[in-house]
Each structure stands twice: as C-alpha cells, then as structure tokens.
A and B are shown apart, each in its own frame.
Chain A
C-alpha cells in the first residue's frame, strides 16, 4: 500500500467560529459595576424608649429640597462647599471636660459639635429630590469622614486608612494583621460615621 500522509484540516473557518463566540459573549454579558456607597439602615424599634437627648449644636442638618437645592444648618449652600463645612463641623471639638476632643484640629467653637463621637449628620430629603443629587450629597459627606479618618491615620501610623485597609485585605501583605485591624478600628472609633438618613 502506498504511504499516505494525513490530509491537512482546513482551518479557514476557525476565525468565523471564534467571531461567533465573541459576539455571543459581547451580547450576553455586562461589565458589572459592583462598587458603591455602603450604608446601614437603622432597625425599626418598636419599644417605647425615649431617645437620648441630643443637643442641637451636635446635629448638622442637611436638607435637599425638591428642586435639588441644599440647605445646610438653615442656610443655602452649594454642593462644592458641603465637604468643607462637614469637616469643620465634625472636627470642631468644642467640648470641655469629659467631652473634650484631644485629637481634633477644629476651631473649638462652643456653638458647634463637642467631639466627633457626638456629632451627628442628619440628612433629609423630600420625595421629589432627584436620586443623583442625593448620591452626590452622600458622597460628599462620606468624603468628609474619609478625609478626617485619613488625616488621623496618617498622624498615628503614617499611612492613610485606605492603604491600611488595602493591606488588610491583601493576602500577600506581610505583617501582623491583628494589630493592623486594631489600628483601623481605632481610627474608625475616633471618627465614627454617624450619618442618619431621616425618612
């Protein structure tokens, strides 16, 4: 018998097959957005407990009206000024004695908040408020907290909170994770995120 070499398979249609698959994946999948602003809703409390009395000076009210205008502490404000105002309020440290804040760098105005632990930001909105504006405001307020936390973290440990958290979740990071967690928690306790969304 004559020795026959195996015939070569025609690969010309390979590209077509690959294109078909590619187009299928392009159509059926999305590049997922899976990041956002994390919030915790307050639980519904049925028990008849009188809420603790919070002094007016420790509350920073932000109201967004139906025309997407901002009212901060009874004054009209532009969105770009909100972050600075929030930082000033949180970092004021106007308390004395037990309420004194040793790490605040604010103006120590007795008319503003006592310390970051007592300072509460209350965010109100109307039903007509646009969601985009609401998120912008939330973003600015979270930014104010992050700014203060980062500053404090840099002061204490020479790293921003973001870097510390990145290290904490990084499996390849070499170091003591438990003490790192304690450090992160300390910064978070010193500037707790007390942001209340009023219904």
Chain B
C-alpha cells in the first residue's frame, strides 16, 4: 500500500503572488487615467443635485469654480451652519467674488477670457438666495457664462 501515500506531505502549496503587482498596477493605472487631481480642499458639504439634460463642459482650464454649501462639521463652530461660499481653498464673502474673477482672468491669455465659464457647484440643500446673490455679482463682473454643475441622474433623486 505504500504506493498510494507517497505524496502525502500535508502542507498546502503556497499560492504564487507573483502576479499581484500586475493586478495592483492595473488598478493604479485605471485610477490615474479616470480621475483628476483634487485642486481644492472642500470645506463645505457639496452634494450636487441630479439632472439629465446635461451638457459636458470641455476645456478644463477655462473653468472657474465657485462652491456653495453648508460648512463641514469641523468648521461649523467657526463659520456657523448657514450656507457659505468657498473660493479656492477658503471661505469667502460675496465681495470677494470680484477679486476672484479678476485674478482668474489675469492668469489666462487675453483672447481666452471671453470663453471663461463659471461652474457653480452648489449643494442641493443650499438656498437660492445666496445663489442669486452670486449670480448678480457675476453679472456685475460681466462673467455671464455659467454652468450649474450637476450629477447625471434622474431628477426624482433630488430631495
């Protein structure tokens, strides 16, 4: 009977992990291609509303972002719970929009300035009052091209 229990060593053979780096690299490349660097650190809640009639924004470098929303919990002690404007990395007031637009325009080539678009990234729970004020401010600065940034989806998901 010794013929049959020849290979009974008891240990499981080790699974080769040689292809693990390849798998991880594949994931890495996917994320590198599909995502973009986060340019600003959000200090506000920014849950965008849904819409399905959206148009794609091209020319990433010609977009100015204005964020509006309730301050995140860490900042609520300092800034309260009402919706605030965030420009670049800090909280801002309505009067700061003017200088923000001017500084953004200064960084672009002159012939591209008319194509600058303002993307309004507004939290779905924000009040329209603040948004209207921002829009009025943009009109004063003659930055008339705006885009209400939304997520793609059915509007019934807007609560």
Asked if B108 CB lies within 8 Å of chain A CBs, one says no
Instruction: Kindly list chain B residues whose C-beta atoms are within 8 Å of the C-beta of A37.
Output: 51, 53-55, 147-148, 150
User: What CA separation (Å) do A46 and B158 show in the bound complex?
Assistant: 38
Count of interface residues, chain A, beta-carbon cutoff 8 Å: 50
Question: Residue A18 at the B interface, CB < 8 A?
Answer: yes
CB-nearest residue of chain B to A40: B144
* Nearest CB in chain A to that of B17: its residue: A15
Q: Is residue A28 within 8 Å, beta carbon to beta carbon, of the partner chain?
A: yes
Q: Which of A38, A132, A197 has the most CB of B within 10 A?
A: A132
Taking a contact as CB atoms under 8 Å apart, the answer to whether A25 and B146 are in contact is: no
B9 at the interface (CB under 8 A from A): no
Residues A135 and B124 in contact in the complex (CB < 8 Å), given A15-B20, A30-B35, A34-B149: yes
CB distance from A127 to the nearest CB of B (A): 3
Contacts of B134-156 to chain A: CB distance below 8 A: 135-136, 138-140, 142, 144-152, 155
B53 lies within 8 A of A146 (CB): yes
Instruction: A66 to B140: give the CA distance in the assembly, Å.
Output: 26
One of A49-57, A106-114, A137-145, A183-191 at the interface:
A137-145
B11 at the interface (CB under 8 A from A): no
Residue of A whose beta carbon sits closest to that of B126:
A131
Chain B interface main SS type: mixed
Closest to B21 in A: A14
User: Quick one: closest B residue to A198, CB to CB?
Assistant: B132
Task: List residues of chain A with CB within 8 A of the CB of B139.
Answer: 41-44
- Asked if B4 is at the interface of the complex by the 8 Å CB criterion, the answer is no
Indicate if A128 sits at the interface (CB-CB under 8 A): yes
Cross-chain contact A131 with B136 (CB below 8 angstroms): no
Pick from A30, A33, A126, A136: contact of B149, CB under 8 Å: A33
Residue numbers in A under 8 Å from B54 (CB-CB): 35-37
Q: Which of B36, B52, B132 contacts A29 (CB 8 A)?
A: B36
Question: With the chains together, A19 CA to B17 CA distance in Å?
Answer: 14
Docked Cα-Cα span, A129 to B149, in Å, equals: 18
Of B34, B37, B38, B150, most buried by chain A (CB within 10 Å of CB) is B150
> Contact at B24–A19, with CB atoms within 8 Å?
yes
Would B135 and A18 count as touching, CB distance under 8 A?
no
Shortest CB distance B155–A (Å): 4
Contact surface of A with B, Cβ cutoff 8 Å? 11-12, 14-15, 17-19, 21-22, 25-26, 28-44, 64, 79, 125-136, 138-140, 142-143, 146, 197, 199
14 CB-based A-B contacts, threshold 8 Å: A15-B20, A25-B32, A30-B36, A30-B38, A33-B48, A34-B149, A35-B54, A38-B117, A44-B140, A127-B127, A129-B127, A130-B127, A136-B49, A197-B135
